Structure 1
């Protein structure tokens, strides 16, 4: 599996990967609507690719199966989305993408990785905790803004959590 920085040409493939990954939510009654929900647009992927903060997992030349898109906010690399195509899940691809993002944060002198996710969904907060992320009790401004935007989009805010991984923490 090759993990590499995304190119503008990759942006057209990323919504399909996210849609495939979101099918997992069909197994959770109160979140099943997310399986058919809106995904990140191609122009938004392009915006982040131009910042140099999007990684893709390429199974073979031209065959993308996962991505992580992020943005530097307040000296942290904030992860907006990590998705792995449904039939490629449970193979460590998400972990490889996270390691690439962590290495980027380390190499560029950032303080941490940050994200928002579901508290009690197995492949969300519990998986990020295994990687070393810690729930944040008092979210910074960019994390509060992300949580507020998610609430407006209809995500159950009581089920959401902000998390950080200080880059000085050992990768797991």
Structure 2
């Protein structure tokens, strides 16, 4: 059995992180969401900002090779889950959940009151998954200015062809 551990992402991990993101899109293609599956991964420069700010973590295999990653931000004084992706060869092993729990621990250490995210509402490994982990959907009037800005960017990128929403988990 392979052991996975979580550590801060390093600059040397970033090309692998992009590969993880491409691989993680495969299940979206399988359900007809090819636009999502083919969406470009974050640029190395964008990823590097998360690394330099201490807001990027990877889950690694026994050889310290990243197999999943999570990017966090702070939006409107809350922790914000920017992205979590698991390589398709390593899905359904609890790795994404371990990264999510790691980020929640980080948010608590930073004394942030909640974690927010945006997600697809009808994709089983998106909205329903986060509901099982204590997140709730926000009504439009509950969306903070930063969340509204994120949603506008998602719409501009064409990622709103399927129902999306903001979610929040109180800490």
TM tier, smaller:
over 0.9
Residue 85 of structure 2 corresponds to: 83
Q: List per-residue Cα deviations over 1:3-58 (Å, max 9, x = no partner).
A: 111122222211100100011111222x1232222111111110011111111000
Contact 2:75/2:147 (8 A) holds in 1: no
Find the aligned partners of 1:136 and 1:51 in 2 and give their Cα distance.
27
| 1:104 aligned residue (82, 91, 106) | 106
Instruction: Tell me the distance in 2 between the aligned counterparts of 1:90 and 1:158.
Output: 23
1:116 is displaced (CA, Å) by: 0.3
2:145 aligns with 141
Structure 1, gaps ≥5 residues long: 168-172
Cα deviation for residue 158 of structure 1 reads 5.8
CA contact (8 A) 1:150 1:157 kept: no
Q: Distance in 1 between matches of 2:14 and 2:165?
A: 28
Q: CA deviation at 1:157?
A: 5.9
1:19 matched to which residue of 2? 22
2:120 and 2:52 mapped to 1: Cα distance?
A: 28
How many residue pairs get aligned? The number is 166
1:52 match: 54
Provide the C-alpha distance between the structure 1 equivalents of 2:19 and 2:144, rounded to a whole number of angstroms.
31
* 1:4 paired residue among 2, 7, 30: 7
Contact map agreement 1:147 1:157 (CA 8 A) in 2: no
TM-score, length-scaled by structure 1: 0.92
Match of 2:128 in 1: 126
Q: Distance in 2 between matches of 1:61 and 1:104?
A: 25
2: CA distance between counterparts of 1:166 and 1:55?
Answer: 22
Q: Report SS of the residue matched to 1:98.
A: helix
